Amino acid sequence: MMRGRAAWIQTVAPVAKVVTSRPLSVLAASAILVFFAVAALAPLLAPPRPNRDPYLIPTSGFEVEPMPPSASHPFGTTENQFDLYYGLIWGARTTFKISVSVIGASVIAGLIIGGAAGYYGGPVDEVLMRITDIFLAFPGLILAVVIVAVLGKGLDKVIIAIAAVNWPTYARLMRAEILTVKEREFVAAARAVGAGTLRVLRKHIVPNAIFPFLVFGSLDMGNVVIVSAALSFLGLGTELGYADWGQLIAFSRRWILGAPGRAFQYWYTIIFPAAAITLFVLAWNILGDALRDVLDPRLRSRPRLK
Amino acid sequence: MSAYLARRLLLLPLVMIGVTFLVFGVMQTLPPAARAMLFVQKPEQATAIQAIIRKYELDKPAYIQYWHWIRGVLHGDLGYSQSARMPVKQAIAVFFPATLELTFFSFLAIVTVGIWLGMQAAVRRDGIIDHLSRVLSITGYSLPVFVWGVMLLFIFYGYFNWFPPERLSLEASLFVQSGKFKTPTGLMTLDAVLSRQWWIFWDALRHLVLPVATLTYFLTATLVRITRAAMLEVLGQEYVQTARAKGLAESVVIGKHARRNALIPVITLSGSILVGLLGGVVITETIFNFPGLGRWGASAALQLDLPAVAGFALLIAVVTVLANLAVDLLYGYVDPRIRLG
């Protein structure tokens, strides 16, 4: 246990140092904090109507055409009069919900499957790794599209679909991590004093293997958000009118080309949601870039799920 | 090498079978009446759902159903695509050339731009191109492909009206459909060159610019980084120093000694670029209304056109697995160290 804690501190300290020593990563970290604050304070920033699911964007009127920013709609409205400001604020919550759930699920699946493969080796390893190969035979987005097409739209289904696509990378990483840790002396020492398999795993191997794994998870935030937004953009995301950045961009699709002679007439339908997604992902990637420099070089060439 | 090759080839059918299990397993969450569509080969049959359920035993255990399904798949009976209004097999044949053309030009652009930028960034470290490529990489990672694509469409079609969406202009597509234009390959640019219809060639090229630019932008980022890192590593090697020490011109040192070795790790990446392209065409083709596999797959998914979704997923998985195999073999051939490992 003590070794586990020492390993944590050994890794956390240089990470914190690098992040705080670079102005760009400080900026990125602050941007993430702002997004988090917006998500947490959503009920204050954009009060939902009583007796209504707060994640459903309120509409005003039945006009199809988007409306430019005005006093009652500071960022304007999308087609069918969904309020952009409300959608952006609550969309920040949706974004955190999706990314944290997907990464949580991937971490757990990766921990169990990659952990078992790495620890037991032999046929267990072979079978589990061939299963991950099967999942990796699909470009990420395509398997997610198939899953949502079959399960139907909705936040929970989007989370299931992206997690199903995402876990194999985690399993592979965990396996590699376990393989290096399990050869270390303290593991042999623990076994020599008679510790059982579960105890060795829980107290000695996992605490030492998990940190790079969690960092990879944090680097993956931007990636997960891009995939979920891509699903929404294709119309395979959350239900109609759900506060979700990808869906807001999908709403703008019919309007981006403007009216004849007035190309930029509906600029607000695309600029605000596009800026929100891009800034969010950019912030995570800049932060990730800083972390990558401190941590394992293996993480430097992570494949992109797209 | 032979053991490596044998293992790789032995695993290939296993992964393929696994892929069919996965697609079949996802479909299994639907009720039998929905799954019956997988066995409909002609539109007339769609009314006789109960007969299909009985015939293919869709209410029996999963392995019996899988047997019926996979037998059809191996015979090329992939069902009837409602969204394309033709059998899935035929839809694949119709939409494949467009996607092939798009991915071919994109791959070409990605490799040219990516390697050039990566090399320049490494040779003139911390120069303008190096900084530029760093900005390109980080934004390429962070800008969602659909935001980038929509922006390009907004500027270059909506505002300037230079590069239109879709695959051909109305004029050109009428000419192509009139029968006066032969399409032996299905690749518009190639067919136009073969029949010397230059205006069709330019028209097709003009329609390819934006989707190719979209795919290139977000897939070049990784390549630039890897090329730069590999080139920097090679430039630090002793044999490069030796080459410099014996007085060779810098262009010879880079062109003859460094570049070739720096390109080895780039080969592995070409596999993941191809996988990225196959995933990317779904969104890109949808944005630019480009009539390829990706747009078909996405619209089929929206309309719950199950046979099309299954056929599309199987096709993409097979292409991905084969592409990865080809890259592995190529890598083993180029870098003998891999074969021993």
Nearest CA in chain A to B146: A230
Mean per-residue pLDDT over chain A, rounded? 84
Ranking A84-88, A144-148, B271-275, B331-335 by mean pLDDT, the lowest is B331-335
pLDDT for residue B337 is more than 70: no
Cβ-Cβ contacts under 8 Å, A289 against chain B: 138
pLDDT band, very low/low/confident/very high, at A300 (cuts 50, 70, 90)? very low
Ranking A35-39, A245-249, B158-162 by mean pLDDT, the lowest is B158-162
Q: Which of A150, A222, A233 sits opposite B27 (nearest CB)?
A: A150
Q: How far apart are CA A109 and CA A100, in angstroms?
A: 14
Shortest Cα distance, chain B CAs vs residue A268, angstroms = 13
CB-based contact A150 B321, cutoff 8 Å: no
Q: Which of A149, A226, A257 sits opposite B154 (nearest CB)?
A: A257
CB-based contact A234 B147, cutoff 8 Å: no
Question: Is A261 exposed, middle or buried (CB count within 10 Å of its CB: 0-12, 13-18, 19+)?
Answer: exposed
pLDDT for residue B162 is more than 50: yes
The string of pLDDT tens digits covering residues A194-219 is 888 788 878 887 777 777 777 788 77
The string of pLDDT tens digits covering residues B231-246 is 888 888 888 888 888 8
Which tokens sit at B66?
Answer: 């899988």
Q: How far apart are CA A254 and CA A237, in angstroms?
A: 18
pLDDT for residue B189 is more than 60: yes
pLDDT band, very low/low/confident/very high, at B328 (cuts 50, 70, 90)? confident
Nearest CA in chain A to B34: A150
Higher pLDDT, residue B213 or B182: B213
Q: What is the pTM of this model?
A: 0.87
Shortest Cα distance, chain B CAs vs residue A262, angstroms = 8
Q: CB-based contacts of A142: which residues, under 8 Å, 6+ apart?
A: B278, B279, B282, B297, B312, B313, B316
Q: How far apart are CA B97 and CA B229, in angstroms?
A: 35
pLDDT for residue A306 is more than 60: no
pLDDT band, very low/low/confident/very high, at A302 (cuts 50, 70, 90)? very low
Mean pLDDT calculated for residue range B2-21: 84
The DSSP symbol for B59 reads T
The string of pLDDT tens digits covering residues B52-92 is 888 888 888 888 889 989 988 888 888 889 888 899 999 99
Of B129, B149, B328, give the one whose Cα is nearest residue B224.
B129
- Other C-beta atoms lying within 10 Å of the C-beta of residue A286: 24
Nearest CA in chain A to B221: A304
Nearest CA in chain A to B157: A257
Which of A131, A255, A304, A305 is the best mutation test for B, with the most CBs of B within 10 A? A304
**Model pLDDT, residue B336:** 67
Cβ-Cβ contacts under 8 Å, B276 against chain A: 139, 304, 306
Q: Which of B153, B218, B282 sits opposite A256 (nearest CB)?
A: B153
pLDDT band, very low/low/confident/very high, at B341 (cuts 50, 70, 90)? very low
Cβ-Cβ contacts under 8 Å, B310 against chain A: 146
Which of A134, A270, A281, A292 is the best mutation test for B, with the most CBs of B within 10 A? A134
What are the CA-CA distances from residue B196 to residues A69, A257, B202 (Å)?
52, 34, 11
Ranking A137-146, B171-180, B310-319 by mean pLDDT, the lowest is B171-180
User: Largest Cα–Cα distance of chain B, in whole Å?
Assistant: 82
Q: How far apart are CA A65 and CA A71, in angstroms?
A: 18
Q: CB-based contacts of A283: which residues, under 8 Å, 6+ apart?
A: A28, A29, A31, A32, A35, A222
Q: CB-based contacts of B202: which residues, under 8 Å, 6+ apart?
A: none
Q: ipTM score of the complex? A: 0.88
Higher pLDDT, residue A68 or A11: A68
The DSSP symbol for A53 reads -
What are the CA-CA distances from residue B122 to residues A156, B115, B226, B228, B235 (Å)?
45, 11, 10, 5, 9
Mean pLDDT calculated for residue range A212-232: 85
Nearest CA in chain B to A142: B279
Q: How many helices and strands, by DSSP H and E, does chain B display?
A: 17, 2
The string of pLDDT tens digits covering residues A42-59 is 899 988 888 888 888 888
| Total number of residues shown for chain B | 341
CB-based contact A282 B226, cutoff 8 Å: no
